[in-house]
Amino acid sequence: MSAITLREVSKVWGTVRALDDATFTTREGQLLVLLGPSGCGKSTTLRLIAGLDSASSGQIEILGRDVTNLPPAARNVSMVFQSYALFPHLSVAENIIFGLKVRHVPASERAARLKRAADMLGLAALLDRKPSQLSGGQQQRVALGRAIVAQTPVCLMDEPLSNLDAQLRAEMRREIRALQQRLGITMAYVTHDQVEAMTMADQVILMKDGRIEQDGAPAALYERPATIFTARFVGTPPMNVIPADAIAAAGSADPLQGAPAGSSLMLGVRPEHVRLVESGGVPASVTATEYLGADTLVQTRVGSSEMMARLPGRIDLAPGAAVRLDWQPGSRHWFDAVSGLRVE
């Protein structure tokens, strides 16, 4: 069954269309990531699903039920906010079961759910502490605990890891994913971090300016980006997208062979698919290199366009060095420069 469905949903604030005609659906048990740059409408979408804001138009369904006009409490979803929103004067235990108390869940049931969540999240020894006595990661787990004890089949999370350092973030993202799968819940998870999206999601909805840019599995967004925006948003460093003319002008037609017809064609090649060759390929000049340990990023110039190569190991190339770049025909992506859309 579909867990969350939006049909032509818009949210207008004055003159801003925070969400513009969004239609999507996610199945039960999926981890859906809403991805996109700041201000693209991710939080708005989540708040509309939770019922914290109401849609200007369109319809929202949760588990087959039309919830468009229902208040948050009647929607049976839990939500974890970016700020955690913990009560500073309450202990960890009290914070976790606060919502259950409000809903008059009996004390014995509250205790049982608290124990289960605390064990699962490694918080059992911290239940008497106040939030100020916890690290960022521990506070984050308390916020998660609160969502878990609610035992709702749908959980919404708005950038829950953005306050954590990189290592803890990587750890927590694995924990959240494991938890979501163990509990079999549907999760809608907001982030601007494409790595988070790629590593956690079953389904990614990439947004831009209130509109859905692409909706698909992480691999689909990486392997077959529908637009230049998706191509450059997903993957690090971003895909090289340069005018096909620039390649031709650089003195080699080879890397363009079999290109679709069209006058304003852009060629996309991921840095990890570019390699250096002795002959053939595209002549380029090195502008900078960055050694990352496992790989080296080689920034080059092809005519007036920049082109990045991500090469395995350590590559010593001085700025100004002449190189030749090549790629497999199958790793090319074509886009229309005007519409930004993928061309087959």
Give the residue with the Cβ less far from ligand ADP, 29 or 39.
39
Q: Does 16 bind ligand ADP (CB under 6 A)?
A: yes
Smallest separation, CB 164 to ligand ADP (Å): 18
Q: Looking at 105-223, which runs of residues are DSSP E strands?
A: 154-158, 186-191, 203-208, 211-216
Q: Does 13 bind ligand ADP (CB under 6 A)?
A: yes
Smallest separation, CB 159 to ligand ADP (Å): 8
Give the residue with the Cβ less far from ligand ADP, 84 or 335.
84
Residue 144 tokens, joined: 């998660």
Give the residue with the Cβ less far from Mg ion, 49 or 118.
49
Smallest separation, CB 106 to ligand ADP (Å): 37
d(CA 77, CA 64): 14
Single out the residue of 39, 58, 99, 340 in contact with ligand ADP (rule: CB under 6 A). 39
Give the residue with the Cβ less far from ligand ADP, 49 or 149.
49
Smallest separation, CB 40 to ligand ADP (Å): 4
Q: Residue 56: CB partners within 8 Å, gap ≥ 6?
A: 10, 11, 12
Give the residue with the Cβ less far from ligand ADP, 37 or 122.
37
Residue 249 tokens, joined: 């002008």
Q: Does 43 bind Mg ion (CB under 5 A)?
A: yes
Smallest separation, CB 310 to ligand ADP (Å): 28
Contact 287, 301 (CB under 8 A): yes
Give the residue with the Cβ less far from ligand ADP, 34 or 267.
34
Strand partners, 11: 19
Please name which of 276, 287, 273, 275 lies closest in space to residue 323, comparing C-alpha atoms.
276
Smallest separation, CB 17 to ligand ADP (Å): 8
Single out the residue of 9, 32, 40, 231 in contact with ligand ADP (rule: CB under 6 A). 40
Q: How many CB atoms lie within 10 A of CB 278?
A: 8
Q: Does 44 bind ligand ADP (CB under 6 A)?
A: yes
Query: How many angstroms from the chain centroid is the CA of residue 153?
Result: 21
Over the range 16-41, which residues count as b (16 or more CB within 10 Å of their CB) and which as e?
ebbbbebebebeebbbbbbbbeeebb
Contact 218, 201 (CB under 8 A): yes
Give the residue with the Cβ less far from ligand ADP, 20 or 94.
20
Q: Does 55 bind ligand ADP (CB under 6 A)?
A: no
Q: Does 18 bind ligand ADP (CB under 6 A)?
A: yes
Smallest separation, CB 209 to ligand ADP (Å): 9
Name the site residues for Mg ion (rule: CB under 5 A).
43
Binding site for ligand ADP (CB under 6 A): 13, 16, 18, 36, 38-44
